[in-house]
Chains A and B, each alone.
Chain A
Amino acid sequence: MPEKTNINKVLIANRGEIAIRIIRACRDLGIPTVAVYSDADRTALHVRYADEAVYIGGSRPAESYLRKDTLIEAARKTGADAIHPGYGFLAENADFAQQVIDEKLTWIGPPPNAIATMGDKHQAREAVKKYNVPLIPGTPAGLPDEELVAAADRIGFPVLIKAVAGGGGKGMRAVHRAEDFREALATARREAESAFGNGDVYIEKLLVGARHIEFQILADMHGNTIHLGERECSIQRRHQKLVEEAPSTFVDDDLREKMGKMAIAAAQSVNYVNAGTIECMVDKDKNYYFLEMNTRLQVEHPVTELVTGVDLAKEQIRIARGRPMTHTESFMNPRGWAIEARINAEDPYNNFMPSTGKITTLITPTGPGVRVDSGVYPGAEISPYYDSMIAKLITWGETRAEAILRMRRALSEYTIMGLKHNIPFHINLMNSFSFITGQIDTNFVEQRFQMDTYENNPTQQELETAAIAATLYAHRKRQLAAQVVAPAKRDTSNWKWVGRWERMQK
């Protein structure tokens, strides 16, 4: 029997919306929480939402959220007996997980050796291969340029160059023609070196017209491993997911059964415990290939929560405490449909350029079937130090159509001013015929989606109204400024005025 542990206080080694998501799970369970923050995050929402908060250093991640010793010291100082890593930062760092365990703290995540194996793409492929999990043709990691060039020719173009230390879309590059390969390789190595401090890359066959479909896994210390169905994540740009949904229009009962079994086998190949995700590519003939396992809670976990009713963050804590998990049967029949739109500080009209600044106005959608996981508030500064995702908007409906209609309604209620964001992109996507009919693959956004296809030019009346509104705004502001200045203008100097005032007070 596994040892049962109590968790009395959780330190969340993260920031932004995911830190708040985990604090909320702890609150639901009655467990006090500790937030950590950098210079840039003193006024961040997660700091204000937690019971305790510890300053951990400078704004750059390497000076704060990635400092293992400092995080453990913060747990010691506050008496936290468990650490939840969230996603990103140290969530998939096996050394940190081991260090937490060695310090006799509870690690709310998978075992360090499972993180290490799945974190090394070559080892991961070797591990799952033994369990008959299908793999995309590719090369091992760390080969020199000449061998990679030969391998790319052998596998056949198009190929994908991927950074060994990458993930989440960072450090990946598609090459479609042999003559572009060397230049792309140099760029990929340069990006990997600057982003991860490791320029090692490997190659994989790029599947054309393929979908990105992943399975949510939960496993406890009592030998139970289940899947909670799939998530469709094909709406991506530069391998960054923008919209996710559960279930997938492409997955029928038969495919769900087969892929679910494969996902469970992949998790069991590394004796996985806690929440994880098996990412797959599925081609148009429903052939599926294991891509990688993400050994953490994912950004898009809410869509699974809405169609299964399971609180994944709470379940993670339950599993870490050594309890058997709530459900021990896989979820074959999703309840309704859920869609998530990632709200990023990126300008969809300017090549998705990141935008920084202060959120001056924030009106968050509410109403039936709407969930918002957000890390911002009116007045919040979006700094250049961290990811550009500021919130997630998730809608649920009995059918996919209802979920899309609710997403449209919620997007139109969502008002964010002060910086550029991608809500207009989501509005256009929800109006796109291809998305509505589920005709999507991982290249859809980059190759077949244009912002202006779905937009009408503003009417003359709309332009006139906007011009009048802008002018009245500026006019009132000027009048107000004139009033504020006027009382300060005294007919005599301030020194004389003070003298008179003092004499009057005698």
Chain B
Amino acid sequence: MTKYVTILNGEQYEVEIDKDGNILLNGERREVDFLALGPSLYSIITDYKSLEVVIDDEAGNVSVLMGGRLYETQVLDERALLMAMRKGGLGGGSGEVHAPMPGLIVAVPVEIGQEIQQGQTVVILESMKMQNELKSPIDGVVQAINVTAGQTVDKNAILVVISPPSEE
């Protein structure tokens, strides 16, 4: 029996798979016919519902495209679950603003120590001929600014770090 916890939309789903491929979802038995059709293309039949799904993964995150909707999940096995718990719980928002693509920093309209709100623009990045406003994922205080205007950055570079406001 292999046990997983899959996180989707902030909810945890406990999925157990035994040697014969039987599936338990949150402790309940489910009849699932899951068949690979090609690279990342699968057919899944459950409760007579026939669905074609496309599944991909990147860095431990598994994305499922089903019925025109993209479901972004994290599948954790027992070891990964243990590590995530030690790091401070599941699904906590990170205060790092990454470059979603390579580009040129146009402006950084915040300062270290500044109090900012979720959704506030912290970096303006130019890429694909467009200026994109990168916003803070959380409320907090600007802890570090790693770039300056005019600099080019690679994909996934950490541009600005925001620390959550200290609890009083």
Measured CB to CB, the residues of A under 8 A from B are 170, 191, 194-195, 345, 351, 353-356, 360-361, 363, 384, 386-388, 411-412, 415, 417-418, 423-424, 427, 458, 461-478
Contact = CB atoms under 8 A, between A and B. Distances in A.
A417 B155 contact: no
A470 B64 contact: yes
B102 A384 contact: yes
Given A465-B51, A466-B71, 20 more contacts: A194-B106, A361-B39, A361-B56, A411-B68, A417-B56, A423-B68, A462-B69, A463-B13, A463-B71, A464-B25, A465-B44, A466-B8, A467-B6, A467-B15, A467-B71, A468-B32, A469-B44, A470-B8, A472-B17, A475-B17
Contacts of A345: 128
A469 B34 contact: yes
A474 B51 contact: no
B66 A466 contact: yes
Contacts of B34: 468-469, 472
Contacts of A384: 101-103, 127-128
Contact of A473 (B42, B69, B126): B42
Interface residues of B, number: 56
Interface string B53-95: 1111100001111111111010101000000000000000000
A412 B65 CA distance: 11
Given A387-B129, A463-B71, A470 B55 contact: yes
B54 A458 contact: no
A473 to B, nearest CB: 5
A476 B34 CA distance: 11
A464 B47 CA distance: 12
A26 B51 CA distance: 41
A471 B66 contact: no
Nearest to A191: B131
B2 to A, nearest CB: 6
Q: Counting chain B CB atoms within 10 Å of each CB, which of A353, A363, A468, A469 scores highest?
A: A469
B75 A474 contact: yes
Nearest to B34: A472
Contact of B66 (A194, A363, A465, A477): A465
Contacts of B54: 361, 363, 415, 417
B57 A473 contact: yes
B56, B65, B69, B128 — most chain A CB neighbours (10 Å): B128
Nearest to A385: B128
Interface in B143-161: 155
A478 B9 CA distance: 23
B71 A458 contact: yes
A363 to B, nearest CB: 8
14 contacts: A355-B100, A360-B40, A361-B54, A363-B54, A384-B127, A458-B9, A462-B66, A464-B30, A468-B25, A470-B62, A470-B71, A471-B13, A472-B17, A476-B36
Given A194-B126, A353-B132, A473-B62, A417 B40 contact: yes
Contacts of B53: 466, 469
A184 B34 CA distance: 55
Nearest to B23: A468
B133 interface: yes
Interface string B40-51: 111010110101
Contacts of B102: 356, 384
* Top 5 closest pairs, chain A to chain B, by CB: A474-B75, A466-B71, A467-B13, A471-B15, A354-B128
Given A466-B73, A469-B34, A356 B65 contact: no
A417 B126 CA distance: 24
A465 B46 contact: yes
Contacts of B77: 474, 478
